Amino acid sequence: MTTRTTTGAHSIRTATKKSSTARDERQKALVDVRRALVLDAARKVFFEHGLEGTSIREIAQQAGYTPGAIYSYFANKEEVYGALLGESLERLNERVTAAAGRAKRSPAETARMAGEAFFDFYRENPRDLDLGFYLFQGMQPRGLTPALNEALNARLRDSLQPIQEALQAIGMPAEESLTEVTGLFAYAVGLLVLSHTGRIRMFKQESRGLFCVYLARLVERAKR
């Protein structure tokens, strides 16, 4: 009798634990869906009004929620922005990492494919590039905590790391490779802005072609 009672109690505890786990998983899935809806709504509002012109109330209206519901997921609009930019940077890193992984063992090819993946991500997704500039007013970052700002910056640097490591593998000193990757980033952003605004047409040039030439010359410098 005691054995049966103990076994029965154990079965009840196991069933209760499984039920609780399933309930927690359903709750988490529901939270994830609602959070994704908020981010989708915020993305649309940010693209229409920019960071400074956006309010939590407008995000809530776009999402079909009350402002109070938004605050249950995010403390303020800057935190919403940080989540959007973080998601964008994760997709960027996934693309660059995949491109570097497809390269053969040649570090020159790795540098080329990773660099082109970085450029193509923002060329094909201009609004993701826009996200990176909504934060700035008067050339100074606003709104994000120092910790979140540094975390986002770190993920951006991560996306350029395969290029820097490939240049070093070719033979470029570490300090010089950092300088060159910084220049490549600045050049890429400049070309992308000219391309997305249509200003590059005044030069009768094509942004990707110019970037690929720059990248090829960088690899050649590393070889020398």
What is the model's pLDDT at position 142?
60
Q: Which amino acid is at 40?
A: D
Domain 1-74 and domain 77-224 have a common topology: no
User: Rounded CA gap, 127 and 132, in Å?
Assistant: 9
pLDDT per residue as tens digits for the range 35-62? 999 999 999 998 888 777 889 999 999 9
Is residue 139 very low, low, confident or very high in pLDDT (cuts 50, 70, 90)? very low
Q: At what angle do helices 107-124 and 207-223 cross, to 10 degrees?
A: 160
CATH 1.10.357.10 fits 77-224, yes or no: yes
User: Looking at the predicted structure, is the pLDDT value of residue 135 above 70?
Assistant: no
- pTM value is 0.82
Tell the CATH topology of 1-74.
Answer: Arc Repressor Mutant, subunit A (1.10.10)
Every domain of the chain and the residues it spans: 1-74, 77-224
For tokens 């990248």, name the residue: 215
